[in-house]
Structures are given as C-alpha cells and as structure tokens.
Amino acid sequence: MSHPRRALLFMPGDDSRKIAKGAALGVDSIIMDLEDGVAASRKEAARATVVAALASVDFGTSERLVRLNSVSSGLMEADVAATVHARPDGYVLPKVESGDNVRWVCDLLSQAEADHGWPTRSLRLIAIVETARGILRLEDIAQADLRLDALAFGAEDLAGDIGATRSRDGWEVFHARSAVVIAAAAYGLQALDTPWTDLGDLAGLDADARRAADMGYSGKLAIHPRHVPVIVAAFTPSPEAVAAAQRLLAAYHTHQALGAGVFAFDGRMVDAPMLRAAQRLLAQAGIAQP
C-alpha cells in the first residue's frame, strides 16, 4: 500500500532551516525541492543541502521526497547522482510528458538500488503532469513503471503552457484536473491535486481542497506550512462519515450472509458504487474494513 499522502509540503532544497522546520510539522510528505524553489546558480548547493538533511534531520513519520529538475532541463541525472546515495524515500519528477520520461528516471533508480543492494523499487516515484503534452499522454505515463505511486496535477504550469489565464474557479484547467484523477484511478495510482497559490486565503484553500477530494483526489501539494492543516482536514474523513461507512459495510456483510443481494440502507438501495465508496473512505481514514 502506498504511503498516505494527504498533504505534501514543498521546501526549498537549498534552505536547511526550512527543511528542518517542515520536518517538525508531522506532515505526510516533505518534498525537498531542487527545481522551481532553487535558483539556477544554487542547484549544486541545494543537492548538498538535501543530502545533509537526509543524513541529519529527524523527519519522524514524514515521507522524505526530493523533487528533481525535469528530464528536459539537462539537470535531472545530476540531481539523482548527487542525492540517491542518501536514500530518500522517493523522488518527484516534474513536467512529465511521456512514459519514456518516467522510465528514464526509473532506470537510474533501479541501477542505484542494484549498486547499493537495496530492495527493488524501494525508491518510489511521483510524476507531476503539468503540460499540454503530458495531459494528452496520461495513459502512457500512468502505466509506465511499477515504481510510480502517484500522478500529481500542476495547474499553474499547464495554464502557462496553453496560454490560459488562471482563475479562482479553475474552469480553464478543469478538463485536465479531471483527466489526471481519472488516469490515476484507472491504473491504481494516487491522485495529488495542484497547490493553492494564495498564501493568505485559507477559506479559499479549504473550498478548493474539498472540491479536489470530491473529484477523487487523495491529497494535495502544499507550498506553505499554514496550508497543511487545512489540506489534511479536507482529505481526512469525518468521524460521522467513517461511522456511516462502517455501518453500511456491516449491513452488506449481514445481508450477504442471509443470501440477500440487494438491500436498503438509510432509505437508499445499496449498489456496488456505494460499497466501493465506503471501502475507499475507510482506506483513506486508515481503518480496517469489516
């Protein structure tokens, strides 16, 4: 089972203080960034800072991820070579446009695992799809390699790529946002939603995160620590929802034992989609299913 990823917090890879601060928050995943969060002149310093953090910082239960530069940047291979010996839990690959992009990185990680005697596919991968070409090739990307855990959606880069103007309601990227979560579901991957870029509008973030959860996303990228609790709350089922799901599944098993294939629950006929939704909700909450 993949690591639970409700909130994934970016921290600039060249700032050891911010990485340590993020690690102390208990967030599901910390992403130490070598791409957009680091100036071109600071790439080597960022790699060294990330390696030092992996060796010395107590991340607790937080997953330790490193965002690489894109395959097309010419920096990706050096990013992997400089950091993989420190053994992060996984990597985040931005601007993925094809299955070949994924396989290129996976080949590098497979070689590192063989060189160090680590278990096969122990280094996990998340692919960010944020270009027009990437959206058109989602199926190719989603089935590229078994190392791939999740597809993440990047709305800001996509809007720039297609010449769209970003808006609060996000209709200009709604098709792509839906396509990412559908492709992830089709291939058994987590779907991670785009960051909310307004640092102070927590009410807007809450509404946006809950909309993403309703769409089927399992988590959301975060660019500021204050966003983390809002995102976690949006992607954590309420106690009432958990109790309802448990009652539904218990009723289903009772009726199955009695030989009844169809039954009513809280005034509604129960069908397979309702059962799957209940099972998924309990899985999100980390609760064993009856």
What gap in Å lies between CA 223 and CA 8, rounded to an integer?
8
Annotated catalytic, 161? no
Residues 130, 94 contacting (CB under 8 angstroms): yes
**Catalytic annotation, pick one of 58, 169, 266, 271:** 271
Q: Residue 195's CB: how many other CB atoms inside 10 A?
A: 22
* Catalytic residue IDs: 271
